[in-house]
Amino acid sequence: MSYREMLDQIKAQKANPLPTPPVSMTVQWFERNETERCYAAIVTFQEGPGRVKLCILKPNGHPMHKEGVLHRSDPVHANKHNTATMRNGAWDYRSGEGPLKSHRELHLKELERREAAILKAMNDEQDMVGQNAEK
């Protein structure tokens, strides 16, 4: 993938960044990302943009812990047989709730960091080409 393609991909992700809820927020967890298998969960750690650790509270059961749970809007869930989806399920906000602007900041900061790294690599490559041309 070229630098330009990577920058275009980042630009598209910036238009719709993944939400990441804060620790201790109550969310819904969907076993295997199936709507009819929805349970209450508490965010215990933010692993990355749209990816959290959860403590799932099934009725009449013991609390269950899941790592690497991605938001339902994550493109990885497009393949229903994806290992991450099957093993970790997916999370979403409770009915009637949505992400606050601050919940998208983690992903925006990560995208800005990646964009800066790509731009630096592009500049470094151009500098090397310029130095080689001078020799």
Q: Which pLDDT score, from 0 to 100, does residue 91 have?
A: 96
Same domain, 84 and 66: yes
Whether residue 62 sits in one domain with residue 4: no
Range of the domain at 134: 1-19+99-135
CA contacts within 13 A on the Cβ side of 51: 12
63 & 114 share domain: no
- Structure confidence by residue, pLDDT tens digits, 33-55: 999 999 999 999 999 888 999 99
Same domain for 64 and 89, yes or no, is yes
> Quick one: 36 and 94 in the same domain?
yes
CA 108 – CA 72 distance, rounded (Å): 18
Model confidence at 135: pLDDT above 80: no
Q: Could you tell me if 93 and 41 lie in one domain? A: yes
State how far the Cα of 72 lies from the Cα of 37, in Å rounded to an integer.
Answer: 13
Residues 70 and 113 in one domain: no
Regarding whether 89 and 32 lie in a shared domain, the answer is yes
Domain count of the chain?
Answer: 2
Does 40 lie in the same domain as 14? no
pLDDT of residue 134: 65
Same domain, 77 and 59: yes
Verify that 61 and 118 share a domain, yes or no.
no
User: Do residue 67 and residue 32 come from a single domain?
Assistant: yes
pLDDT tens digit sequence for 73-122? 888 898 888 898 999 999 999 988 877 777 888 888 888 998 999 999 98
Instruction: Assign 66 a pLDDT band (cuts: 50, 70, 90).
Output: very high
